[in-house]
Amino acid sequence: MIIPSNIIWFDDDDWLGLELSFPGGTCWEITTKIRECEDLYSQQDHEEGGIVSEARAVFVASKVAGQAPPTAVLKIHMQVPWWGSATKKPSIRAQEVVSEPSTRGENEVEALRLLTKAGCSSTPALIDWMNRKQTQDQSIPGGYIHFIVMEMVPGVDVCSVIDDMDRGERDELRAAFKKSWLECISYGITILDRGAKNLRWDAARKKCYIIDWERHCAPEEDGDSTWRDANYLSWHLAWKGPNGTRNDMSTWEF
């Protein structure tokens, strides 16, 4: 069971202005926090199911050194204490350490590495990444903290603009999304976390980008290797409406 903590895990005072050097030779300064979220579970959840509590944040970062674009997205996955233990002393929280790095973080690196190597034009390029252990003054001393630097693709989050688009603009978005979806499928990968929140729209270039690859698989594993117009419903780019049916596109709202 996910329990909200109302804790700010990535405080601006601790993170903004921080410089991070990566194994690939790049160095980045964190400049702006875009958002943060958490999946917080109980001790019982962890002991019975192995579920790890994790906080995630997405930042804008400026390049300090290395061969890379001047600005990028920096994503952090960090193990945090299970519910009710965040205020305990560090030596107690350190007992919650898990040995494996962030599953979500490793999954996203795997996906972006594959797509970047393939030259995919519809997803962010992987720039650099690393896994570290948290220090004594962080949430779980010795727990994982996983960093990914990726291309900042142009455009805006689809979920923030789709309600204000007219029908013509939405049609352009849907056509661009289908093209991007098919490109990713052609490289042998499909995203499992579907929704407008994981799409960015560059209206000037009529380009739709698919982001947030923490959950993915091969298309054949998900039965998702062939395009179906119902994908528009799954990604919240069309709606069935009160009297619509999934298998009859003529009943949908666009």
Note the pLDDT tens digit of each residue in 122-164. 999 999 999 999 999 999 999 999 999 999 999 999 999 999 9
- Per-residue pLDDT tens over the stretch 158-201: 999 999 999 999 999 999 999 999 999 999 999 999 999 999 99
Average pLDDT, the chain: 94
Listed in sequence order, the residues at least 6 apart from 113 whose beta carbon sits closer than 8 Å to its beta carbon are: 126
CB atoms within 10 A of CB 201: 26
Q: Where are the domains of the chain?
A: 12-151, 156-251
CA gap 10, 25 in Å, rounded: 25
Provide the token pair at 163.
Answer: 């309600």
Residue 253 binned pLDDT confidence (cut-offs 50, 70, 90): confident
Residue 4, H or E segment: none
| pLDDT attached to residue 99 | 86
* Helix, strand and coil in the chain, % to nearest 5: 30, 30, 45
Report the candidate in 87, 129, 132 with the shortest Cα–Cα distance to residue 110. Answer: 129
- One DSSP character per residue, 166-178 reads -HHHHHHHHHHHH
| pLDDT attached to residue 249 | 81
Listed in sequence order, the residues at least 6 apart from 2 whose beta carbon sits closer than 8 Å to its beta carbon are: 39, 40, 41
Quote the radius of gyration of the chain (alpha carbons, Å).
20
- Per-residue pLDDT tens over the stretch 5-25: 889 999 999 999 999 999 999
Residue 28 and residue 130 in contact, taking contact as beta carbons nearer than 8 Å = no
| pLDDT attached to residue 1 | 59
Residue 243 binned pLDDT confidence (cut-offs 50, 70, 90): confident
Residue 249 and residue 229 in contact, taking contact as beta carbons nearer than 8 Å = yes
Instruction: Answer yes or no: pTM beyond 0.85.
Output: yes
Provide the token pair at 77.
Answer: 């996955």
Residue 251 and residue 240 in contact, taking contact as beta carbons nearer than 8 Å = yes
Residue 234 and residue 192 in contact, taking contact as beta carbons nearer than 8 Å = no
pLDDT value at 224 more than 80: no
| pLDDT attached to residue 2 | 66
- Per-residue pLDDT tens over the stretch 199-217: 999 999 999 999 999 999 9
CA quadruple 221, 223, 227, 231: dihedral sign: negative
Provide the percentage of residues in the chain whose pLDDT is more than 70. Answer: 99
| pLDDT attached to residue 78 | 98
CA gap 4, 211 in Å, rounded: 25
The highest-level CATH class for domain 156-251 is mainly alpha
Taking the alpha carbons at both ends of the chain, their separation in whole angstroms is 35
